[in-house]
Structure formats: structure tokens, C-alpha cells
């Protein structure tokens, strides 16, 4: 159901342009000039893939983001309104390519009417809302309550949001202009010392589709299409040692993606050892590529031969789960509020879930969504692994150490028991 895939196969380069489905795409179409506001890979060059999830109703727009080649999709979702026009959930970088893809929908289905910022903590989502909104000057912008910024708490207009057409989502979804088509549930801001976490899940009734930001994910076995547009990060992490020359083939792309997923979700999974820097520098002299792009040959990772078992446990046959960092550092600070929110979301009769990261769309029922939060009940709010999801407890080691340190220095409040 992919209606537009920009450069999913290696494009032929002619006169510094890329030919895609009969249309010339210029490199400046991928340019994101404000990358310095959140300097994540691929920095000033962002490709976009549009996918039609439900014919003439729902589309996703995938881009890429990461650090040290640990790259994962970041996703915007657009829903066609019954009365005509479009609702945008969690905008991505408004590159020329992205806006052109949106405008193709506008030409067929009507203007962008509503833009939703469904989080208060995700900088990777917040940073794009203002620039995206400026591309659609007639759209109303709705943001999650209690937005914050660091180190100074600035007004929304100072954060780039258009002041005359930005408003806070009301607690009661019946007070919004899209009440006839959407329900939403707010996971009220969880206080985290220097900041707070919140998420708003949207339910599109007609299509039985749930939109979420970070709360649940599903990790695909194969690298997503947006990640495959540039295979370099995949092949970088497919290496076993600095001197490896990794062939670009599906097997190695898959290997790199699965290791990237472990890094992205655990930071430092148990199946990888961080080598001593003396050895890392010695190995770098044996690397076949020592360019800046290759980090000068530095490769500090040593993977256990059984590393894939950790990925298999993470993927768990394509099930929904809550990301380890949310379990260990965030949601266990408000277990009761989180369970109440999950119960409300699970009361809706959705058939698919579209998160902002990793796999999408996910065919899932409400009870599967609710099950993803059972760790809060089974682990008494500690956020560690549980029998219901079989995530290896040893993979939580670094996150538990972070949790302990942040608590010790009073940066984060302690986890709470579910009562």
C-alpha cells in the first residue's frame, strides 16, 4: 500500500538530481536548514517516505533520526476528515519533499485544518511543529497541556509556535472542533524533576485506528524502508570488528538493523561489551576506512555470539511493548495514572495502532495494548522485566544504573508502588 516511496531503490544520479517514479527530485528537496536546533543524524538532509495505510483516509510520513548511526524512523500521521481537510498528528521536518507530499493530499482531500503536538517531552517531535505550521497558515495548532522547555521555561510563541492559532488541548475532547471523529486520552504530565512526560493518544473512530507517540512500539524483523534509503548505518553496525568489510546485502542490513534496535531501546544491551579505548585505537589502524564518516575507524563494540537471542526476546513475534527507558525511568513514576490511561485507551475498539517510531501500522486489539502495561502491576512499579513480556532482565542493567544514579542525586523522583 505504499503510494510514494522516494528512492526506495538506489536512484540513478543524473545532473545532480535523483529520478523517482518519473519525477526529478533535487537534493535540496531533502534539506532541513534548522537541524542545529536538534542535531541528530542525518542532520541537514532528511528523506521522506509516504505510505497509504487506509485508502483515501490515513497516511504515514516516515523520516529518519539517530545518533552514532543508531537510526530509527520518526513518523507523522495524517488523517482525512469526513467534512474534508486533514488532521496532522506529530509533524516531522517540513522539507520541500515532505511538504510536496502533503500538498498532494491537500490537492485531493482539502487543506490541513488541525496540527497536533501530542507530547510535552519529545524534542524530536516538538521541534518540527512551528516550522510545519508555518507551511500551512490556515491550520489550527493544538498542543498537549503543560509544555515546557529547558533550561528556561519559555512561552509557546518563543518556541516557534504561531501565537494566534495555537491552543492547548482541553482535558475534555468534546470541546474540540474534531470531536465528531476523534476521541483522545491524556496521560497527564508525569513530573520528572527538571521536566515532565506526557502523551496524548488519538482514536479515529471511523477507521478504528489508534495514534500514539512513544508509549508502545513494535520492532520489525527487517529494517524499515526509510532506514534502507541509506544503508551505511546498517552496515556500520553489522560489523563485528573494526577491520571488517561488510557487503551490502539483505542479510547484513538485517543484522545491522537488529543491533541498532537493541542500542536504541536499551542504550547498552547485555550482549555487547564496550571495549577499552586503548584497544579501540589500535584496532582503528586496521580499519579499511578511516574517514570522518567512519568515525576514523573507531569501533568500540564487541558483540556476544548469542546477541540475536536478545533481539528475538525484544521483538517477541511482533508484539506490542513499552520501551525499556519508559518502563525504567518514566512510567514507573506514575504507575496508577499510567494504568488508568491505558484502561481508557483500551476501552476503544481499535484494530490498528500507528506509533511514531519503529514499526507501523501494527494490527493490534485493545487487550494487547493493555497487556503492554502489565509490567507496572507485575513488577510493583519498578519498571523491570516481567514474565508477561520476557524481556531479559540483564538488558536493563544500564537503565537500572541510570535510575539509581538519577535518584541518588535527586534529578529524578523515585519510582512508586502501584496501589
Beta strand pairing status for 166-168 and 140-143?
A: parallel
User: d(Cα 121, Cα 117) in Å, to the nearest integer?
Assistant: 10
Instruction: Tell me how crowded residue 168 is: count the other CB atoms within 10 A of its CB.
Output: 13
**Looking at residue 64, what is its pLDDT?**
95
- With residue 53 as reference, give the H or E element that holds it: strand 49-54
Which CA distances in Å does 250 have to 11, 235, 317, 324, 344? 18, 10, 20, 28, 41
Torsion angle, alpha carbons of 171, 58, 216, 208, to 10: 70
User: d(Cα 124, Cα 126) in Å, to the nearest integer?
Assistant: 6
Q: Which residues contact 288 (CB under 8 A, 6 or more apart)?
A: 243, 245
Cell digits for 129?
511543529
**Looking at residue 378, what is its pLDDT?**
76
Cell digits for 326?
519508559
Q: Average model confidence (pLDDT) for the chain? A: 87
User: d(Cα 163, Cα 141) in Å, to the nearest integer?
Assistant: 9
User: d(Cα 97, Cα 112) in Å, to the nearest integer?
Assistant: 17
**Looking at residue 101, what is its pLDDT?**
97
DSSP string, 120-154: SS-HHHHHHHHHHHHTSTT-EEEE-SS---SSS--
Write out the E strands in 304-350. Answer: none
**Looking at residue 74, what is its pLDDT?**
96
**Looking at residue 155, what is its pLDDT?**
57
**Looking at residue 8, what is its pLDDT?**
36
Beta strand pairing status for 58-67 and 49-54?
A: antiparallel
**Looking at residue 156, what is its pLDDT?**
64
**Looking at residue 157, what is its pLDDT?**
59
Cell digits for 140?
489550527
User: d(Cα 259, Cα 255) in Å, to the nearest integer?
Assistant: 6
DSSP string, 344-407: HHHTS--SEEE-SBSS-SEE--HHHHHHTTTHHHHTTTS----TTT---GGGGHHHHHHHHHHH
DSSP string, 165-176: GEEEPPSSGGGS
Cell 514499526 -> residue: 359
**Looking at residue 354, what is its pLDDT?**
98
Which CA distances in Å does 367 have to 364, 371, 389? 8, 6, 14
Give the total residue count for the chain.
419
Picking from 131, 239, 114, the residue whose alpha carbon sits closest to that of residue 184 is: 114
User: d(Cα 355, Cα 96) in Å, to the nearest integer?
Assistant: 24
Q: What is the pTM of this model?
A: 0.89
Rounded to a whole number of angstroms, the distance between the first and last alpha carbons of the chain is 45
**Looking at residue 256, what is its pLDDT?**
97
Positions of the chain with pLDDT lower than 70, given as ranges? 1-25, 122, 149-159, 379-389
**Looking at residue 173, what is its pLDDT?**
86
- With residue 177 as reference, give the H or E element that holds it: none
Amino acid at each position: 500500500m505504499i503510494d510514494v516511496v522516494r528512492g526506495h531503490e538506489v536512484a540513478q544520479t543524473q545532473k545532480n538530481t535523483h529520478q523517482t517514479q518519473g519525477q526529478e527530485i533535487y537534493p535540496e528537496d531533502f534539506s532541513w536548514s534548522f537541524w542545529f536546533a536538534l542535531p541528530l543524524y542525518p542532520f541537514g538532509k532528511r528523506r521522506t517516505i509516504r505510505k497509504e495505510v487506509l485508502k483515501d483516509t490515513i497516511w504515514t510520513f516516515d523520516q529518519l533520526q539517530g545518533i552514532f548511526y543508531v537510526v530509527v524512523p520518526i513518523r507523522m500521521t495524517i488523517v482525512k476528515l469526513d467534512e474534508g481537510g486533514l488532521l496532522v498528528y506529530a509533524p516531522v521536518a517540513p522539507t520541500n519533499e515532505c511538504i510536496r507530499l502533503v500538498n498532494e493530499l491537500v490537492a485531493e482531500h482539502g487543506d490541513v485544518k488541525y496540527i497536533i503536538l501530542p507530547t510535552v517531552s519529545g524534542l524530536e517531535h516538538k521541534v518540527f511543529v512551528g516550522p510545519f505550521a508555518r507551511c500551512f497558515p490556515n491550520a489550527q495548532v493544538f498542543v498537549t497541556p503543560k509544555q515546557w522547555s529547558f533550561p528556561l521555561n519559555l512561552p509557546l510563541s518563543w518556541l516557534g509556535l504561531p501565537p494566534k492559532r495555537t491552543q492547548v488541548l482541553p482535558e475534555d475532547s468534546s470541546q474540540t472542533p474534531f470531536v465528531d471523529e476523534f476521541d483522545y486520552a491524556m496521560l497527564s504530565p508525569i513530573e520528572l524533576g527538571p521536566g515532565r512526560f506526557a502523551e496524548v493518544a488519538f482514536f479515529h473512530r471511523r477507521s478504528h485506528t489508534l495514534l500514539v507517540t512513544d508509549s508502545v512500539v513494535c520492532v520489525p524483523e527487517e529494517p524499515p524502508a526509510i532506514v534502507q534509503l541509506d544503508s551505511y548505518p546498517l552496515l556500520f553496525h553489522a560489523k563485528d570488528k573494526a577491520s571488517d568489510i561488510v557487503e551490502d546485502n539483505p542479510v547484513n542490513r538485517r543484522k545491522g538493523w537488529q543491533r541498532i534496535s537493541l542500542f536504541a531501546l536499551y542504550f547498552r544491551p547485555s550482549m555487547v561489551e564496550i571495549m577499552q579505548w586503548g584497544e579501540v585505537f589500535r584496532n582503528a589502524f586496521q580499519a579499511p576506512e578511516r574517514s570522518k564518516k567512519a568515525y576514523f575507524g573507531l569501533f568500540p563494540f564487541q558483540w556476544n555470539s548469542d546477541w540475536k537471542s536478545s533481539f528475538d526476546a525484544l521483538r517477541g513475534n511482533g508484539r506490542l511493548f513499552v520501551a525499556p527507558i519508559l518502563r525504567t525511568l518514566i512510567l514507573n513514576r506514575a504507575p496508577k495514572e499510567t494504568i488508568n490511561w491505558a484502561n481508557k485507551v483500551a476501552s476503544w475498539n481499535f484494530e490498528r495502532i500507528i506509533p511514531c517510531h519503529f514499526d507501523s501500522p501494527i494490527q493490534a486489539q485493545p487487550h494487547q495494548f493493555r497487556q503492554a502495561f502489565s509490567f507496572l502491576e507485575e513488577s510493583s512499579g519498578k519498571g523491570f522485566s516481567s514474565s508477561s513480556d520476557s524481556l531479559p532482565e540483564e538488558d536493563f542493567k544500564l537503565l537500572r544504573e541510570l535510575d539509581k544514579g538519577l535518584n541518588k542525586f535527586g534529578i529524578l523522583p523515585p519510582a512508586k508502588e502501584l496501589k
